[in-house]
A = this chain, B = another copy of it.
Amino acid sequence: MTIYEVAKRAGVSIATVSRTLRGTGPVAAKTREKVLKAVEELNFTPSRLGVSLAEGRHAANGIVFPTLGGPYYAEVLLGYEEVASELGRSVLILSAKGGSNVREAVKELAGRVDGLVVFGRTVPGDVVAELAGMPLVFISCGPMAGADTLRCENVESARVLAGHLRGHGYRRFAFLGAPHTPGDDISERWEGVESVLGGAVRPVPTAEYTVEGGYEAARKLLRKKSRPRALICSGDEVALGALLAAEEYGLAVPEDLAVTGWDDIMAARHARPALTTIRQPMRELGAQAARVLDELITRPRPERHRTLPTQLVVRSSCGIHPQEDP
C-alpha cells in the first residue's frame, strides 16, 4: 500500500495525494474529496520510513539509562515520555547496563533519532565524541562543555540535611553509599554533607547503590560497638537496606540509630519508620530534558546548564524533635 496506489485510484498524481494529506499547497475541494475517499478505501497510512527519508528527520528521540532497575529511572522516563509524546516525538530507550556493547547500541540508537538524552557517565567519552553534531542533553550530570546539561540540586540540599541531623544532637555520622565515580550526583551529596559535618562524618562505600548493597555495608558497620549515631545514605534504596540491617541487630530507628535516604522513592514513604529523605523532582527532570532536547533540535543555540531544586522531606527515621513530642 503506497502513495502510488492511492494516486492511481483517485486518478491524480502522487504529489497531489501528498499535498492533500499534509495540507501543504493548494488542492481543489473536489480533488481533495477523491483523494480522501481513496485513502479511506485503501486504508492508507504513509510509510514512516518514506516520510522520514524525505523530510530528513526522524521525529523521534532517544534516552539512554545506566540501568532501568529501580524506581528512580522509571519516574524520569515517565516525565520524558509524556512530554516527548506531546511534542509529537516517538521515544526510543536504551539501557546501558554496563554491558560491553554499549558503544554499538548507542550508535545504533543515534541513527534512529533526532536527538538524545543521556544519563551522566553512562556512555564512554569517545562515543560521545562521535555523537557530536547531534543534539544532546546530559542529565543527572554537572555542567560540561559541548552539550546541555540538566540535574537536580545536590550540594545545598545535602548541607540542609546535614544541618538538620546535627540539630538532632548527633555527633558521629557515616555517609553510606560513598561515591565511586567523581563528579556524579553521589559525589556532590558527599561534598555537601562533608562541608557541614567535617570530621564527624566518614564515607562508607557500598558494593552497589541498592537495598542489598546498603544492607551488607550497614551490617558491617553496625556490628562494631563504635558505630555511628546516624547513617546518611546516598540513596533511598541504600537506606532501606540499612533499615533492614538495623532491624536485624535490634537497633531502634531513630532512637538508637538515625537513618536518612535520598530521592524519595515510593518505598521511602511506606517504610516504618518512614524515611527522612531529599525529594528529587525526577519526573520533572525527565520532562524538562524532553523539552530542552526539543528546543535543541528545533533550532540550535548555545549550550545551557540547569539545576532543578530539591526538597528535604522530614519523616520519622531521622529522629524526634522535642517540639514534635506531645
Residues of A that sit less than 8 Å from B by CB: 43, 45-50, 52-53, 58, 60, 68-69, 71, 73-74, 77-78, 81-82, 85, 90-95, 97, 99, 105, 107-109, 111-112, 130, 211, 240, 243-244, 265-267, 270-272
**SS class of chain A's interface: helix, strand, loop or mixed?**
helix
Which residue of B is nearest A53, CB measured?
B49
State A270–B270 Cα separation when bound (angstroms).
7
Q: Chain B contacts of A90 at CB under 8 A?
A: 92, 94, 108-109, 112
Taking a contact as CB atoms closer than 8 A, the residue among B58, B78, B109 that contacts A68 in the complex is B78
Taking a contact as CB atoms closer than 8 A, the residue among B49, B73, B112, B240 that contacts A74 in the complex is B73
Q: Tell whether, in the assembled complex, residue A85 and residue B105 are in contact, meaning their CB atoms are under 8 Å apart.
A: yes
Taking a contact as CB atoms closer than 8 A, the residue among B48, B78, B107 that contacts A112 in the complex is B48
Q: Tell whether, in the assembled complex, residue A95 and residue B69 are in contact, meaning their CB atoms are under 8 Å apart.
A: no
Q: Chain B contacts of A68 at CB under 8 A?
A: 74, 77-78, 81-82
Report which residue of A49, A69, A271 has the largest number of chain B beta carbons within 10 angstroms of its beta carbon.
A49
Taking a contact as CB atoms closer than 8 A, the residue among B85, B109, B130, B266 that contacts A43 in the complex is B130
Taking a contact as CB atoms closer than 8 A, the residue among B43, B91, B108, B244 that contacts A94 in the complex is B91
CB distance from A274 to the nearest CB of B (A): 10
Q: Chain B contacts of A48 at CB under 8 A?
A: 108, 111-112
State A78–B272 Cα separation when bound (angstroms).
28
Q: Chain B contacts of A53 at CB under 8 A?
A: 49-50, 53
CB distance from A59 to the nearest CB of B (A): 9
CB distance from A245 to the nearest CB of B (A): 13
